[in-house]
């Protein structure tokens, strides 16, 4: 099983291992395929040194790529080409390790900026579910006056585990051990369910609304809209207790 990167808009796989030719690293998409020009840049569009993380871009067009949006050429330019001059903006966060291997961090909206460090929600979620007590986890970034963003985690425990403060601290320490201290969640809320669509996708957008104490967005696509209301109530109660 290999990881690859591509989009519907690119029309083909852009970053992938070549069978029999590329040494794999589990979880890494490895390198751009021959003829593909991919890079990682910072907020200003400057290439990020290796190792390092930022925004994934393509710096060389490819024949199969989307060439426009029917009836809306301005939207096409604004979405993919206007953010960085001469670069195709994929909308994904990525990093390269010391060997130059590409690691995809997910959509930019799902990449948190904690004290200048880009941390993928997927990375933290994977670390949490790697703990024997955790069945499922969802992570979001929430505004923080000190670090810019802080990590908030919503955790479902496996049967037989009690949601205690000592377990929450154990999970924070576990994430710090797996990823690093900068990735330690500031808050962990234990819950019995997560807001999911009918197809099973976690609605992180709604969890961000909860974490930021905002009005909930559209919940019509949820399999059970009452789930997020319950999470909101528990989150507010926990916040009041901490305050």
Chain segment 157-192, per-residue pLDDT in tens: 999 999 999 999 999 999 999 888 999 999 999 999
Q: Cα(52)–Cα(96) distance, rounded to whole angstroms?
A: 6
Four-residue CA torsion sign, 52, 56, 59, 62 = positive
Q: Cα(233)–Cα(112) distance, rounded to whole angstroms?
A: 24
Residue 230: CB atoms within 10 A of its CB come to 14
In 3D space, the residue among 107, 109, 75, 74 whose CA is nearest the CA of residue 90 turns out to be: 107
DSSP string, 70-104: TT-HHHHHHHHTSSSTT-EEEEEEEEE-TT--EEE
pTM: 0.64
pLDDT digit string, tens, across residues 10-34: 999 999 999 889 999 988 899 999 9
pLDDT digit string, tens, across residues 177-231: 988 899 999 999 999 988 888 877 788 888 888 888 888 877 777 888 888 888 8
Q: Cα(159)–Cα(63) distance, rounded to whole angstroms?
A: 51
pLDDT at 125 over 80: yes
Q: Which two tokens stand for residue 129?
A: 């579910």
pLDDT band at 232 (very low <50, low <70, confident <90, very high): confident
**Helical (H) or strand (E) element with 231:** helix 226-242
Q: How far is CA 65 from the centre of its chain?
A: 24
């Amino acid at each position: 099983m290999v990881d690859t990167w591509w989009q519907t808009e690119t029309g083909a796989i852009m970053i992938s291992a070549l069978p029999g030719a590329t040494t794999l690293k589990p979880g890494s998409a490895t390198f751009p395929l021959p003829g593909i020009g991919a890079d990682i840049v910072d907020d200003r569009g400057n290439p990020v040194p290796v190792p390092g993380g930022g925004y994934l871009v393509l710096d060389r067009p490819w024949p199969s790529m989307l060439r426009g949006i029917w009836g809306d050429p301005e939207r096409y330019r604004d979405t993919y080409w206007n953010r960085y001059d001469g670069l195709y903006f994929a909308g994904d966060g990525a990093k390269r390790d010391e060997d130059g291997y590409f690691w995809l961090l997910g959509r930019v909206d799902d990449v948190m900026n904690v004290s200048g460090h880009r941390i993928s929600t997927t990375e933290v979620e994977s670390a949490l579910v790697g703990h024997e007590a955790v069945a499922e986890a969802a992570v979001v970034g929430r505004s923080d006056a000190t670090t810019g963003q802080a990590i908030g985690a919503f955790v479902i425990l496996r049967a037989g585990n009690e949601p205690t403060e000592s377990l929450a601290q154990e999970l924070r320490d576990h994430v710090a051990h797996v990823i690093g201290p900068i990735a330690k969640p500031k808050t962990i809320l234990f819950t019995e369910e997560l807001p999911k669509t009918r197809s099973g996708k976690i609605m992180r957008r709604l969890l961000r609304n909860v974490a930021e104490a905002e009005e909930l967005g559209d919940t019509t696509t949820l399999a059970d809209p009452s789930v997020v209301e319950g999470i909101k109530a528990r989150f507010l109660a926990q916040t009041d207790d901490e305050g």
